[in-house]
Chains A and B, each alone.
Chain A
């Protein structure tokens, strides 16, 4: 049967591209996987419905600007207000990036190629960062374009918009690193989703408890540090310090100084990357 069509083995003598090309291809492949592109329709339901929910407030914001000349959610506060949606997206989609390769032991197929483990993990982090960034940046950008089109009274809030975009990138990186680290420690998909969402819920539930306890016992300065436990408020506090935007904390609770926020942010980023490195060093040795 196959003999009829058999034209013999042909060698490949075309170009062989470098490692950077492979790493980029892996990042694009992973990014497509996060949004379920090139996968069955059911893989697209979760990411695209969450993206749609993220965009809804932006649409309402544009309508408010056009009809009653009022701003909806501020650019700088969009991520904090919508944090539950972003967290669900992170929890639902992080496992799709790292879990199958670990669970089904696909990793050796990558490692037997020129791609190194650092490039592999780097590509995955970049893919998840871009995905989370897009989730936050698209509605903000939409709202900003809306503001320009409806031509609100007063100058456009371009500075606040650009600051919000920069912080969305920082937030996306922080979330991606932690989401992937947690998901890679629990390679079963369901467990991965549960572990990411649990850590998020703990981090956001801890804030009011810590804040309330410390505040009512008169430790106002210590209480302000409670906001740093949650990644969204942590990044917002950095934004507040860098760009002078108002805090988007609950009841406008004060943030600690910018130095502490930046330090905590850096420590968390390094810790997350270290956890990923540790996890993949072990996985690569198998």
Chain B
């Protein structure tokens, strides 16, 4: 089942083509939309919300047409904008209750849902204070809460980790992952940082200058490669020499050794050799591609 699908979707502005012949489909779960700033991510979300008419092609969200059934789509999806969008003089509770009512929830249901959702995003007593005094992290949580308050089937999160410190970033990513799994709400999350999405997404779409570069499951991006990283306390040279002598392909990276895996015997060789040399083994880790590497390769290939 597709949560959303586009077919040759194009959006031209007078001076720039923001989305260019984009054909992509997204299933349930957490999907990352990756691209540099200005790659067309925000424009794509606006089209999918039915707020911006496409210049060409078609798009369906939750099996509703974006040009014909925009209002119905907006009833079922949530949207967290990239920019600041909170009035400073109202409290988080007030704002989220009001926006829940704008989504069609009756007054009492709006109150209950707002309280529930604010708790889920981690806002406690501070939710009664005016938003103006909030930190960036708290503001991002309020923005997320208003996108969730009407229990949507799908939410669009535009750069949710923007402006957050590393800890806030981690918490936000964990929350997004929970929304996609525990809450059972599909998520389309944009970012220009690939490393972030790697941790939380089931599927990643990479766009550049409005064109699709790649769309595939996260597993395909981060395939385990045939190397293993070895870190020992000391005696690295000795170990490298011994392993090479035993027929293994070894390269040195800083304080670690990267050994090419030829088969199960490679692991045995590493274990036995360190034991024989009486070395202190600190780390033995399977090497992985980061999405960054893939992205760099793909962009490189296109340029």
Enumerate chain A interface residues (CB-CB to B < 8 A). 2, 5, 8-12, 14-19, 21-22, 25-26, 29, 38-39, 100-101, 104-106, 108-116, 284
Contact = CB atoms under 8 A, between A and B. Distances in A.
Contact of A16 (B87, B103, B124, B146): B103
A105 B86 CA distance: 7
Interface of B: 49, 51, 71-72, 74-75, 77-79, 81, 83-89, 94, 98-99, 101-106, 109, 113, 116, 119-120, 122, 124, 146, 150-151, 182-184
Contacts of B122: 2
A105 B85 contact: yes
Contacts of B151: 11-12
27 contacts: A9-B184, A12-B109, A12-B150, A12-B151, A14-B106, A16-B103, A16-B150, A19-B71, A21-B101, A22-B101, A22-B102, A100-B89, A101-B87, A105-B81, A105-B83, A105-B85, A106-B86, A109-B81, A109-B102, A112-B49, A112-B77, A112-B78, A113-B74, A114-B72, A114-B74, A114-B75, A114-B102
B73 to A, nearest CB: 9
Contacts of B109: 12, 14-15
A16 B109 CA distance: 10
A15 B116 CA distance: 17
B143 to A, nearest CB: 8
Contacts of A101: 87
A16 B81 contact: no
A18 B83 CA distance: 28
Nearest to B179: A9
B85 A106 contact: yes
B99 A113 contact: yes
A129 B250 CA distance: 80
A25 B108 CA distance: 13
Nearest to A101: B87
A12 B113 contact: yes
Contacts of B182: 8-9
A12 B86 CA distance: 24
Contacts of B51: 111-112, 284
B274 to A, nearest CB: 40
A27 to B, nearest CB: 12
Contacts of A10: 116
B135 to A, nearest CB: 17
Contacts of B79: 108-109, 112
